[in-house]
Structure 1
Amino acid sequence: MSKTCLPFLALFVLSAATTATAGGLHGIQPGDLNRQGNACNDFFDYANGAWRQQNPIPDYMDRWSRRWQAGELNKERVRDILGELSARQDWAKGSAGQLAGDFYAACMDESRVNALGAKPVRPWLDEIGALKDRAGVQREIGKLHDAGIAAPFALSAGEDLREPSKAIAHIYASGLGMPDRDYYLKPEPRFVEARAKYLAHVAKMFELAGTPAEQAQRDAQTVFDFEKRLAEASLDNVQLRDPKLQDNPTPFAGLAKLAPGFDWGRYFDAAQLPRDAVNVTQPKFLRQFEKELATAPVAQWKAYLQWHVLNAAADSLSQPFVEENFAFNGKFLTGATEMKPRWKRCAELTDAQLGEALGQKYVEKYFPPQAKARMQEMVKNILAAMDDTIRELDWMDAATKQKALEKRSTFVAKLGYPDKFKDYQGVAVSRESAWDNLVATSRWNVADNRGQVGKPTDRSRWGMTPPTSNAYYNPLQNEIVFPAGILQPPAFDVNATDAVNYGAIGVIIGHEISHGFDDQGAQFDAQGRLANWWTPADGKQFAAKGQCVVDQFEGYFIEPGVHHNGKLVLGESIGDLAGAKIAYRAYLKSREGKGPEPTLDGFTPEQQFFIAWGQFRGDETRLETQRTMIQGDPHPIAKYRVNGPLSNLPAFQQAFQCKVGDAMVRAEEQRCEVW
C-alpha cells in the first residue's frame, strides 16, 4: 500500500499537425507555438502557449500538457489490456492474466464495493480498538507493516550505502498523513489552513467508519498531535536530499539502544528478516518513536493506528470514503475539481500492485524492437557526449576527471522492461473483494522486498513498472532506467526527426545521466558507494557552481512571497541544465557524416531541438499543485524547467538569435554551468 525507498532515486516526474520530412519523419508541433510570443523573452510560453490555451486542464488533473495527455492515453492502453484480461475467467490460477484481470475486475465492481461500506476494514479497526497494552501495540505495528501500512516507521530493503553490492534493511521515518513535516510546523497561512483542513478530514473519515462525531473530533486531534510530535523529530525536505545525513549503519543490537521499548527481535523474526546490521536513516525519529512507546497512552496509539488503516484503505472502500479522501488529497492539495474516472483509478492501482504481471502484456503491444534499438543508439551517443564534456572541463583537475570518467564508464542503461518479470507466486487474487486483493498484493510485495535483505543486490530488479511514464537514476547501482511507458510520443517517437527526439527524450536521458553528477549523485563513486572521489579544490568549485543554480531558482516565484527553494530543486535543476547541454551536443555529433536535417515549418534543426524540449515540458499547473510542489517536490515548476536551464545555454541563444538583455539570456556573470 505504500512504497518506501531511499530518497536518492532521481525521478523525472509525468494534436496539432506536424510536417514530415522527405523520409517520412516529422518535426515539432507547429500548431502548439504561441506565434505572438517571443522565444527570447519567455520560451515556455512561445514553445507551447497555443496548445495550453486551447487545451485547459481537465477537472480531474492537477496539470496538463502533451506529456500528461500522453500519460493519460497510456492509461487507456492499460485499461484496454485489463479489459481483455478481465473479460476472461479461464486463466490459469496465478498466471499474469488471472492476477491482473481479477484484480481489475474486483476494483471495477463499484456496486459491490459500495454495498460493503466500511465492512472490509471493520475487523482491522476492531482489532486495534481492542488493544490493551503496549505489547499489543507493538504486535499491531508489525501486522500493519506486513500489509504495507508504514506507521509510525517503515522498513524496506535497499542497497548498503557503503557496500551497494549487498542489500540491507533500512529503517525510515514515516507515519504522517500530510505531505511532510512542514505542514505540521510552519506558521505561514497556507500551512495553517492545511492543518485545519486535515483535522476536519481525519474527523470525517472516523465518522464515516462509525465513530460518533464528538469522539471523531477528539480522535482527529489526538492523531494530529501524535503526528506533529513525529514531524518535529523528522528531517526536512532539504535535509532528506543529503545522503550523508541518512547513512547511519547500526548493528542489530544497536536498535535496542535507540528504541529499547520496542521488541526488535520479535519484529524481525515475525518479518522473517535476518538480524543483520541495518541503516537507521533518522536516529532522532527512532528515539521519538521510543518516547511515544513509553509515554503515549494506549488510547492515543489506537486512534493513530486506526487512522492509518483508514487512510490506506480509503480509495478501496465505498464512495463516501473515496469522496472524502479526494476532498483533502485531491481538491485541497492539488486543485483538481473532479475525481478521475473509476476505470483510471483501478488501472493505476493494478499497475502499482501487479505492475510486472500487467507489464508483460503492455510491452508485447506497445514497445516494438525498433524503438528499443533507436533508444540504445541515443543513450550511447549521449553517454559519449558526457565523456567529452568531462574531458573538456576547465575547472576540474586531472585526478578528479579520471574518477568522473571512471564513474561514467560504469553506467548501466535499462530500457523498456526487465529481462525477467516477477512471477507473483503465491499471491491470491479473486473477484470477491477489492480490499482483500489490495491487502494480498501488498503483503506479497512487502515479503518480496524483505526477501532481498541479507542477499547480494539483484541488479535485474526495477524500481518502476513497464507501463510507467517516468524515468529514474539510482546512484547505488549507477543505472538509468526508462520504462516502456515513457518511450512514447511526445517523449520519444520512432517517426520523429533526430532533432525532436534528442530535444525530448534525449534531454531526459541527459538529465538522468547528469543525476550521477548532481549534488547528490556526485557523492557516490563508480561502484555506487557513498564515498568522496573529489579533490578538495574541485569539491569547492563544484559547490560554487551549484550555488549559482540555487541562487537562480530562489528568484523564481509562483505568487508573491512564494518562491522555489533553490537547495530543494538543486539536483533536478542541475539535471535539466546538463541534460539539455549534453543532449544537444550528442545530437550534433549524431549528424556527423549524415549532414544536417532539413529546416521544417521555418525552423532549423537546432531550433527544433529546443522547441521539442519546451513542448515536452509544457505543463500548465494548478496553483494549488504549484504550492505543494514548492514545499516538497525536488522538481521545479515546468515553466522554470524550460526557461531556467535554457537561459544559461549559449547554444539556445544562438539558435534563436537572442541578444544580451533578453529575458532568456542571463548576464555572463550570472550564467550557470555545472557540467
Structure 2
Amino acid sequence: MNAWSGEDGDVMGPTVARAASSAKPNTPPLKNGNDLRESGYLIAVGSRTSRFRRKYKKRLPFIVIIIIFILLLIAFIIITILYALAIHRKPPKICRSPECLRSAANLALSMDMTANPCENFYQYVCGNWGSDHPRPDAYRSYDWFRDKQTKVYTIVRDFLNRNTSHQPKAVQQAKDMFLGCMNTETLDKRGLKPVIAVLETLGLPPFPTFINATEDFDYSAYTFDWLDTVIKVKTQIGMDVLIGFDIFTDPKNSSVYRLIMGSPETTNPFPSTHTERKRHNGRRNLKDLINFITKTTDFLYKIDRRSDKADVDEEKIAHIHKIFYAELMKLFVLEEDAVNKSKLTELELDQNIIHTADEYYEASTDIYELESDNSTDIDDEDFQNIPEYTVDEIQSHTDSVVENNNGTASPIWKRYLEGIFNVSNTVLDFENDKILVSEPDLKYMSLMAAYVSKTPPVVLELYIWIKVVEVMSIHTTTELRDMFQRAYEQTHAHETIPPRSLQCANAVNDMLGMAVSYGIADPHFFNVTKPKIITMIDELKNSLAHLVGQARWMDDNTKVATYQKIIEMKTLIGFPDWLLEDGKLEEYYEGIEIDPEKHLENMININQVKTKKVLNKFREGNNFTWATDPTEVNAYHTFQENTITVPMVMLQHPFFDLGLDSLNYGSLGTVLGHEITHGFDNFGRQFDKNGNMLPWWSNNTISSFVNMTRCFVDQYSEYYLPELDEHVDGKKTLGENIADNGGLREALAALKHHLRKRGPEPKLPGFEHMTPEQLFFLSYGNLWCGVSTRDSLKSDLEDEHSPQMFRARGALQNSEEFARAWHCPPGSAMNPHKRCVIF
C-alpha cells in the first residue's frame, strides 16, 4: 500500500511489501547515500516539515471554509445594518417655509437654465428676470432695488391713507401732508397764488421784469439786489442759486463742523416727482467732497435733469426747454392779468416772452459752463489738503479775478454768510471760522463773481426767478404738472411720471421720513431681526480681519491699525433706537407745522426748520446721526463717522429674510460687506478709525495697494457694452469695484463660519442638488438682476458704479471659490487664469 504518495511533494519511497513479523527481513547490500535515499532507507532533514505540510494540507480546506463563513457573516451583518439604516434614514431636510418657497420661485423664474454658468453666469441667473419683472413705463431701468422702493412707497401710501389713533403728532402731520398733496382740487383752485406769495417774500416779481410788459421800460435804470434774494432763497426754501453753501464735519476732525462753500449744491430742495434721487446738472466740487466723505451703494439710479436721449440733438433739446420756459412765464403773466394791463399787443407780448426764454437759456448755459469748466477730477491726495480761507481772503481773491475780467468788484461773501446765519442762533467769528473751499470751487466762485458783476440786474433777476419758480410750480396745479411732464417726456426716453399717490407718498417720505418710519416700523424688530443682523455684521468684520491677516501687501503696523478701525466701526441698523420712544419724534420735528390745505407751504416750512437746525448745530459737536431715512432702499458708509447705515427696508425681501442663511449672506451679506470694505478702499483708506482724514497707512502699504488696484482698473475697463459701443471706466469705478469684490469674499467666509457654528442648513426646494456655496453665488448674482434701456445704460457708464451685470461678473470672476463651486474649467470665462484680489 502507499503510505504517502504524491507527484510533486516529498514521499516516503516505493511501495513496501511487509512480511509476517516473525519473518527475518531481507537486508539488501549496502549502497551509497543516493542509493539509500532513492530506495527509501534514508530521510532528508527537510522532510520533517513536509510531514507538517501534509497535516496542514488536510486542514486548509476547513480553514478556508471558516474564513469564508466569517467574511460572509460580516458582510451579512453590514448589509443588514445598511438596510436597516436605509429603511429608517430620513430624506434630506427641505425648507418649506414661505420664505424658502418664495426665494426658490424667484430664483427659478429668473434663471436661464440653457446658459452655461461658467461662461455667462449673469445670463444663467438673470436671463429670464426681465420677462418675470416687466419694466414699468415710469422707469428707464428696473431692478430689485427699484422694485423694492416702489413697494415701499406703496406701503407708505397705504399707511398714510389709513385712519389710525394714538399716533405721535409728527405721524399725524405726515398724514396731513399726504392729504394736502393728494388734494389736487384744492391745488388747482389756489392756482399760482402760493408761488407768487413766496416770490414776494424773496424779493422777486410775479413774472420776470425782462419780459417788459410795458413798452417804455428802461432796462438801464433797473436795480436788483441779487445777493439779498439769493440769501433769502437759501434760508426760506433751502435752495442754492449761484452760490453753494453747506455745513459739514471737518475732514480732519470729525467731531466738529466746518463751513463749506462752492458751486450750487441743493438745486432742488423739494421732492422729485419721479421718485428719483436729486441730481445737479453737471459735476459739483462741493458735492464731490460730500460724496467722497459719504459713500453709498447708490442703488437707485440718478437721472440727470439734462436729457441723455441719444436720438435727440442739442438744438432740439434747447428748443424744447425754451418753449417750456416761455409757457411757464406766460402762465404767470396771465395770472397777473398782465395781458390786459400791457400796452403791447398779445402777439408783441408773446414775442417778448419768447425772447426772455432765449435770454434765460443763454444765461443758464453760461453759468452751467462756469461750473462744468471748473469741475475736475480731484486726486485722492487733494482731498487730504482742502484749503481753508477766511472770508476776507476769499473776497480778496475773487476781487482780483473780477478786476482782471474788467468787472466791478463788490463785497459778496461776508454779507452772504451774515445773511444766512441771521436766521439762526449762531454768530460767526470771521477771524476764526474759516471756510473750506476746494481749488476748483474757488475758481468757480471767482468767475461767478466776475460774471454777475458784468451781467445786467434784469438778467440776474430772470435767472433766479426761473430757477426758483421751476422747482415750486410743479407742486401746484394740474396744468403745470402736465406741462412739466410733456417737456420731460420729450427729453427723457421711456419714462413717465408715476401715479399721483406714489408721488405724494414719496414727497412725504422725503420730507418726513422718520415720522413715516415710525408708522411702518416692526415693533418686533429689536428682538428678532436686529440680533441676526448684528451677528452677520460681526461675522463679516471678523472675516475681513482674517483676510487682512492673510494679506502680504500690508505691513504689520498697517494691519494693526486696520484691525482697530474694524473694531471701532459703528453700525446703525434698521431705525434709530429712540424712534419708538414717547416724545422723541415730536422733539425731532419740533417747529414744523402742517396745513392739509397748503401743500407747497408745508414743504417750504419743513425746509426752513431743517435749515435753521443745521445752522444752529454749527457750534455743537457731531453726534454721528443717521445718514438716511429708514425707508430708503440703500446702504451707506459714512467715512467721517466710520459708520455703516442699514435702513430697515433693506432688512426685508428681496435682500434679507430669504429662508436660508446661504441666500441671506449672498444678498444682504454682500451688501453689508460692500459697505464695510468701503472703509478700506482707495477712498476709505484715507480715514482713520475716528473718521478723520489723516494718513494711517504706511507708504509701502499704499504703494503696494496702488499697484494691486491696476489689476481692477484693467479688468473692468475690458467690460464692453455693445449697445453703446463703449467700455466701462475702470478708474472711475475702482472704489466701488473693490468694495464689491471685498464684500463678496467677506460674506462667503462669514457664511462658512456661520454654517460651521450652526450646522448644515436645509435644502432649497427645487435646488436640492446645490450646495450652500452654490446657493450663495446664485443669491449674489440674483441681487443684480434687472432690465435697462439704452439711455439708462448710458447713465450707468457715467456713474461711479459699474453696470449691474458687470458688478456680478467682476466679483465672481475673481473668486476662486466660485470656480470650484461650479466646477468651471480653467480658462473659461468665469474661471480666468488671472484674478484680481486685494482683500
TM-score (normalised: structure 1): 0.88
Aligned match for 1:393, one of 551, 554, 562: 551
Aligned match for 1:623, one of 761, 780, 790: 790
What code does the residue aligned with 1:122 have? I
Report the more deviating stretch, 60-69 or 371-380: 60-69
Other-structure match for 1:438: 603
Aligned match for 2:758, one of 594, 614, 617: 594
Other-structure match for 1:12: none
Contact 1:206/1:307, CA 8 A, preserved across alignment: no
Q: CA shift at 1:416, angstroms?
A: 0.6
Other-structure match for 1:503: 666
Aligned match for 1:575, one of 735, 739, 745: 739
What code does the residue aligned with 1:410 have? E
Q: 1:25 to 1:465 in 2, by over 3 A?
A: closer
Q: 1:643 to 1:134 in 2, by over 3 A?
A: farther
Other-structure match for 1:456: 621
Aligned match for 1:33, one of 111, 127, 133: 111
Q: Deviations over 1:177-198 (max 9, x none)?
A: 96315999x9x99598357525
Q: 1:530 to 1:76 in 2, by over 3 A?
A: same
Q: CA shift at 1:433, angstroms?
A: 1.8
Residue aligned with 1:452, SS: helix
Q: 1:328 to 1:365 in 2, by over 3 A?
A: farther
Aligned match for 1:311, one of 470, 480, 499: 470
Q: Deviations over 1:594-644 (max 9, x none)?
A: 33334431321101101111112112122212212322x212211111112
What code does the residue aligned with 1:640 have? F
Other-structure match for 1:290: 449
Q: Distance in 1 between matches of 2:379 and 2:596?
A: 40
What code does the residue aligned with 2:281 have? P
Q: CA shift at 1:457, angstroms?
A: 0.4
Contact 1:166/1:457, CA 8 A, preserved across alignment: yes
Other-structure match for 1:419: 577
Aligned match for 1:197, one of 309, 312, 317: 317
Q: Distance in 2 between matches of 1:395 and 1:53?
A: 45
Contact 2:637/2:679, CA 8 A, preserved across alignment: yes
Instruction: Within 5 Å, give how 1:104-115 maps onto structure 2.
Output: 104-115=178-189
Gaps of 5+ in 2: 1-92, 210-220, 268-278, 285-302, 334-349, 400-410, 580-584
Residue aligned with 1:576, SS: helix
What code does the residue aligned with 1:375 have? I
Report the more deviating stretch, 566-575 or 107-116: 107-116
Q: 1:45 to 1:533 in 2, by over 3 A?
A: same
Q: Distance in 2 between matches of 1:621 and 1:565?
A: 19
Contact 2:673/2:744, CA 8 A, preserved across alignment: yes
Q: Distance in 1 between matches of 2:417 and 2:614?
A: 19
Q: 1:35 to 1:390 in 2, by over 3 A?
A: same
Aligned match for 2:418, one of 263, 266, 273: 266
Report the more deviating stretch, 548-557 or 593-602: 593-602
Q: 1:664 to 1:179 in 2, by over 3 A?
A: farther
Report the more deviating stretch, 109-118 or 615-624: 109-118
Q: Does 1:231 align with 2:371?
A: yes
Contact 2:666/2:778, CA 8 A, preserved across alignment: yes
What code does the residue aligned with 2:437 have? V
Q: Deviations over 1:442-466 (max 9, x none)?
A: 112222222221221011x212111
What code does the residue aligned with 1:180 have? G
What code does the residue aligned with 1:306 have? W
Aligned match for 2:435, one of 255, 265, 278: 278
Q: Does 1:526 align with 2:689?
A: yes
Q: 1:113 to 1:367 in 2, by over 3 A?
A: farther
Q: Deviations over 1:132-172 (max 9, x none)?
A: 87772111111111112111222222210011111222224
In our comparison, the structure showing a higher alpha carbon Rg is: 2
Q: Distance in 2 between matches of 1:408 and 1:351?
A: 33
Gaps of 5+ in 1: 1-18
Residue aligned with 2:682, SS: coil
Contact 1:230/1:289, CA 8 A, preserved across alignment: yes
Q: 1:243 to 1:285 in 2, by over 3 A?
A: same
Q: Deviations over 1:215-261 (max 9, x none)?
A: 3432332343333332244424x439876178232234434334453
Q: CA shift at 1:432, angstroms?
A: 1.4
Q: 1:274 to 1:149 in 2, by over 3 A?
A: same
Instruction: Within 5 Å, give how 1:173-572 maps onto structure 2.
Output: 173-174=263-264, 179-181=281-283, 190=310, 193=313, 196-197=316-317, 200-201=320-321, 203-210=323-330, 212=350, 213-236=353-376, 238-239=377-378, 244=383, 247-259=386-398, 261-262=411-412, 263-272=415-424, 273-275=426-428, 276-281=433-438, 282-327=441-486, 332-333=491-492, 335-364=493-522, 367=525, 369-421=527-579, 423-459=588-624, 461-493=625-657, 496-558=659-721, 559-572=723-736
Contact 1:514/1:578, CA 8 A, preserved across alignment: yes
Q: Does 1:45 align with 2:123?
A: yes
Q: CA shift at 1:71, angstroms?
A: 2.1
Other-structure match for 1:95: 169
Q: Deviations over 1:389-443 (max 9, x none)?
A: 1111011111221222222121001101123355211111111121111111111
Other-structure match for 1:169: 259
Q: Distance in 2 between matches of 1:20 and 1:111?
A: 55
Contact 1:491/1:505, CA 8 A, preserved across alignment: yes
Q: Distance in 1 between matches of 2:190 and 2:150?
A: 30
Q: CA shift at 1:324, angstroms?
A: 4.1
Q: 1:214 to 1:268 in 2, by over 3 A?
A: closer
Contact 1:610/1:652, CA 8 A, preserved across alignment: yes
Residue aligned with 2:571, SS: strand
Other-structure match for 1:663: 829
Q: Deviations over 1:38-96 (max 9, x none)?
A: 21122122112222223221111222233422221121111111112xx57x989x811
Q: 1:537 to 1:471 in 2, by over 3 A?
A: same
Q: Distance in 2 between matches of 1:609 and 1:163?
A: 40
Q: Distance in 2 between matches of 1:396 and 1:191?
A: 50
Contact 1:626/1:637, CA 8 A, preserved across alignment: yes
Q: Distance in 2 between matches of 1:118 and 1:209?
A: 11
Q: 1:498 to 1:242 in 2, by over 3 A?
A: farther
Q: 1:367 to 1:305 in 2, by over 3 A?
A: farther
Residue aligned with 2:757, SS: coil
Other-structure match for 2:6: none
Q: CA shift at 1:122, angstroms?
A: 2.3
Other-structure match for 1:72: 150
Q: Distance in 2 between matches of 1:257 and 1:390?
A: 49
Other-structure match for 1:603: 770
Contact 1:91/1:97, CA 8 A, preserved across alignment: no
Q: CA shift at 1:667, angstroms?
A: 3.0
Other-structure match for 2:17: none
RMSD of the alignment, in Å? Answer: 3.0
Q: CA shift at 1:565, angstroms?
A: 2.1
Q: CA shift at 1:344, angstroms?
A: 0.7
Instruction: Within 5 Å, give how 1:112-131 maps onto structure 2.
Output: 112-125=186-199, 127-129=203-205
Other-structure match for 2:95: 21
Report the more deviating stretch, 531-540 or 389-398: 531-540
Q: CA shift at 1:206, angstroms?
A: 4.1
Q: 1:618 to 1:416 in 2, by over 3 A?
A: same
Contact 2:633/2:647, CA 8 A, preserved across alignment: yes
TM-score (normalised: structure 2): 0.72
Q: CA shift at 1:352, angstroms?
A: 0.9
